[in-house]
């Protein structure tokens, strides 16, 4: 049976949109939009992937069709995309899934949105997320949780869980997320998608609601590695609106070897990795080896401290970024008896529990007397991590480990914050070092489902995580395509 338009990848949809008019399989931009928008409306009451599904933008649809008919080359022309609710689209609400910004309407386009609009892409809606991108399950949204389309009794991961569920639920062709500590890669892994966190500075953060400014990057969640490459190529580039963006050639170019040397830090894969994830990972490695790639054991001793460093740096940066949301300048504004009461009330009512926890943690680690012990130490560890990775990259092209310890968990299972933070154990290092990283599907694990009768099981996807040197996205895509290949054969 042929695929429905909403089930297609970017490449497939782009091809179908370009078939000669006489062919039956030819797709129009309108048909593609309708297939996605109708499926999104049908599934959203169950999935809660979208906070808002936009009305069709007739002018954009017609102009995309005209461009395709006139020979437009951008494969994103006419393709519907979903956008995480912390990325600004002019005229639309961008709430970061917080009560604080519930009614905040963006006055300009994020640079990535402007680039995608220029390529002719269409936007189907804004997706649910953990409030201000703090979390790994989308349970911290102020607007209800999102369900994993593979098993609706489980989380889709987070914080870009809405974007992941939207794509995995076949309600849209691809989506944008943001990744500060794993928020693109972990939900991609838990929903069977490809998720890319680009090199820090490769993609503009202008128009992304900031969480951890030295860690945040926007990136794609897609059905294939090729689709991730297409979105990345369109959104990347230095930007005068973001002074942390980098020129294309800031780092030395990395050659793509046909036969890859894959570094495995086996010492990190201890008993905390579930047996099924470990065996799926080992199986993938064996297949890669049979395909002619070389496996190399490497040591990354400081990586075991990365999670602790991340949970000092990220709250520190988030606490300063969120200080502007004070009931005076933006967002929810409550009025008390005094100015201080205005601040307290606005922030207490506007922010959810996890956000408040991180603001407290962040202001603590930055406070005089503690800044040296916590923030400066954590910050110093970034240079050590970068050095260790650089040393490893002298011997290998890429570094691989599983994206998560286990498949998607059940709602409420990680109500203890520390257990939730452990979800990010493998993903945070790429944000601390600024290196690009990707999660690619590596099969599924069978687990009982509580949403069905007893004895029924569901296949839960898991991910293979690859890190490459700064600006070596070309190497990353090549390695990811190899993993995709061994899993499809
Ligand atoms: N789960 C991590 C956190 O809660 C990462 C979040 C993110 O990447 N935005 O901080």
pLDDT at 445: 94
Listed residue (409, 474, 448, 454) closest to 190, CA to CA = 409
Distance of alpha carbon 365 from alpha carbon 360, whole angstroms: 9
For the Cβ of 424 lying below 6 angstroms from any atom of ligand 1, the answer is: yes
Average pLDDT over residues 390-404: 98
- In the structure, what pLDDT confidence band is assigned to residue 451 with cuts at 50, 70 and 90? low
Token code pair at residue 146: 């999102």
The confidence score (pLDDT) of residue 364 equals 98
Closest CA to 10 of 175, 148, 204, 182: 175
CA atoms in the 13 A half-sphere facing the CB of 254: 25
Please give the number of the atom of ligand 1 that sits closest to the Cα of 215: 8
Phi and psi at 195, nearest 5°, equal -135, 130
User: 352: Cβ–Cβ under 8 A, 6 or more apart, which residues?
Assistant: 98, 99, 131, 140, 142
Helix (H, G, I), strand (E, B) or coil at 458: strand
Q: What is the pLDDT of residues 44-99, one digit of tens each?
A: 999 999 999 999 999 999 999 999 999 999 999 999 999 999 999 999 999 999 99
The CA distance from 112 to 234, in Å, is: 8
Q: How far is the CA of 133 from the centre of ligand 1 (A)?
A: 6
Confidence at 452, pLDDT banded by 50, 70, 90: low
Which atom of ligand 1 lies closest to the CA of 186? 1
72 lines ligand 1 (CB under 6 A): no
> Binning pLDDT at 50, 70 and 90, where does residue 330 land?
confident
Contact between 78 and 69 under an 8 Å Cβ cutoff? The reply is no
Q: Could you tell me which of 200, 197, 231 has the C-alpha nearest to residue 213?
A: 200
Q: Any idea what the Cα angle at residue 375 is, between residues 369 and 379, rounded to 5°?
A: 145
Helix (H, G, I), strand (E, B) or coil at 463: strand
Q: How far is the CA of 212 from the centre of ligand 1 (A)?
A: 9
Helix (H, G, I), strand (E, B) or coil at 439: strand
CATH superfamily membership of 261-310+372-488: Amidase signature (AS) domain (3.90.1300.10)
The total number of residues written for the chain in this structure: 489
- Domain segments of the chain: what residues? 5-235, 261-310+372-488
The single residue listed with the structure tokens 């220029």 is 118
d(CA 80, CA 82): 7
309 CA to centre of ligand 1 in angstroms: 13
Cα–ligand 1 centroid distance for 159 (angstroms): 6
DSSP string, 76-88: TTT-EEEEETTB-
Structure tokens at 108: 């300009």
Residues labelled as active-site residues: 84, 159, 183
Task: Specify the DSSP element, H or E, that contains 447.
Answer: strand 437-448
Q: Which of 81, 78, 54, 59 is nearest to 67 (CA)?
A: 78
Q: Is 183 in the pocket of ligand 1 (CB under 6 A)?
A: yes
Q: For residue 423, which atom of ligand 1 is closest to its CA? A: 1
Q: Determine if ligand 1 sits within 6 Å of the CB of residue 141.
A: no
Query: Which residue has a Cα nearest atom 5 of ligand 1?
Result: 181
Q: Could you identify the residue written with the tokens 């694990």?
A: 445
State residue 453's pLDDT score: 60
Give the pLDDT score at 408: 97
Task: Give 3-14 pLDDT, tens digit per residue.
Answer: 999 999 999 999
Tell me how far apart the alpha carbons of residues 94 and 87 are, in angstroms, rounded to a whole number.
7
Ligand 1 site, residue 161, Cβ cutoff 6 A: no
What's the gap in Å between 130 CA and the centre of ligand 1? 9
Indicate the pLDDT class of residue 109, thresholds 50, 70 and 90: very high
What pLDDT is recorded for position 251?
Answer: 94
Which of 141, 158, 217 most suits a substitution to test ligand 1, by most atoms within 8 Å of the C-beta? 158
Joined tokens for residue 160: 């870009």
DSSP letters, 58-81, are: HHHHHHHHHHHHTT---TTTT-EE
Q: Which of 131-140, 240-249, 327-336, 404-413 has the lowest mean pLDDT?
A: 327-336
CB-ligand 1 contact for 431 (6 Å cutoff): no
> Parallel, antiparallel, or unpaired: how do β-strands 174-179 and 80-84 relate?
parallel
Going 105 to 107 to 110 to 116, the CA torsion angle's sign is positive
Distance of CA 464 to the CA centre of its chain: 15
**What architecture does CATH give domain 5-235?**
Alpha-Beta Complex (3.90)
pLDDT digits (tens, 9 = 90+) for 148-193: 999 999 999 999 999 999 999 999 999 999 999 999 999 999 999 9
- What average pLDDT does the segment 418-444 reach? 96
Answer yes or no: same fold for 5-235 and 261-310+372-488.
Answer: yes
Nearest atom (ligand 1) to Cα of 310 = 10
Q: How far apart are CA 146 and CA 152, in angstroms?
A: 9
Q: Which of 85, 98, 127, 130 to mutate to test the pocket of ligand 1 (most atoms within 8 A of CB)?
A: 130
């Amino acid at each position: 049976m042929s695929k429905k338009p909403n089930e297609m990848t970017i490449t497939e949809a782009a091809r179908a949109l370009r078939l000669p008019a006489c062919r039956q399989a030819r797709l129009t931009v309108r048909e593609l939009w309708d297939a996605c928008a109708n499926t999104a409306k049908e599934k959203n009451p169950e999935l809660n992937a979208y906070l808002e599904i936009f009305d069709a933008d007739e002018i954009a649809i017609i102009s995309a069709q005209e461009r395709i008919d006139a020979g437009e080359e951008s494969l994103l022309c006419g393709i519907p995309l979903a956008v995480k609710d912390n990325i600004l689209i002019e005229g639309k609400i961008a709430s970061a899934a917080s009560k604080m910004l519930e009614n905040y309407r963006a006055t300009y386009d994020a640079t990535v949105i402007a680039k995608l609009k220029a390529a002719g892409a269409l936007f189907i809606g804004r997706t649910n997320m953990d409030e201000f991108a703090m979390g790994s399950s989308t349970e911290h949204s102020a607007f209800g949780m999102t369900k994993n389309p593979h098993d609706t009794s489980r989380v889709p991961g987070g914080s870009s869980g809405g974007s992941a569920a939207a794509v995995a639920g076949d309600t849209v062709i691809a989506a944008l997320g943001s990744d500060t500590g794993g928020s693109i890669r972990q939900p991609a892994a838990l929903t069977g998608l490809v998720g890319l966190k680009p090199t820090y500075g490769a993609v503009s953060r202008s128009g992304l609601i900031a969480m951890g400014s030295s860690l945040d990057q926007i990136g794609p969640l897609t059905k294939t590695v090729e689709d991730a490459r297409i979105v990345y190529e369109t959104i990347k580039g230095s930007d005068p609106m973001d002074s942390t963006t980098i020129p294309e050639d800031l780092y030395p170019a990395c050659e793509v070897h046909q036969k890859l040397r894959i570094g495995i830090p086996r010492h990190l894969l201890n008993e905390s990795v579930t047996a099924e994830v470990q065996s799926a990972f080992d199986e993938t490695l064996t297949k890669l080896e049979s395909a002619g790639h070389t496996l190399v054991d490497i040591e990354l001793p400081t990586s075991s401290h990365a999670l602790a460093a991340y949970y000092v740096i990220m709250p520190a940066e988030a606490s300063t970024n969120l200080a502007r949301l004070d009931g005076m300048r933006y967002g929810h504004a409550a009025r008390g008896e005094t100015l201080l009461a205005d601040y307290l009330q606005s922030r207490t009512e506007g922010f959810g529990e996890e956000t408040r926890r991180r603001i407290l943690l962040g202001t603590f680690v930055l406070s005089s007397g503690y800044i040296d012990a916590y923030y400066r130490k954590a910050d110093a560890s970034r240079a050590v991590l970068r050095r260790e990775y650089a040393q490893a990259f002298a011997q290998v092209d890429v570094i691989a480990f599983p994206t998560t310890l286990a498949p998607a968990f059940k709602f409420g299972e990680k109500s203890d914050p520390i257990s939730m933070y452990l979800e990010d154990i493998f993903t945070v290092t790429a944000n601390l070092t600024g290196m690009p990283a990707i999660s690619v599907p590596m099969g599924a694990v069978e687990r009982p489902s509580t949403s069905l009768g007893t004895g029924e099981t569901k296949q839960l996807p898991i991910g293979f995580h690859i890190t490459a040197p700064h600006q070596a996205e070309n190497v990353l895509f090549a390695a990811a395509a190899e993993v995709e290949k061994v899993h499809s054969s």
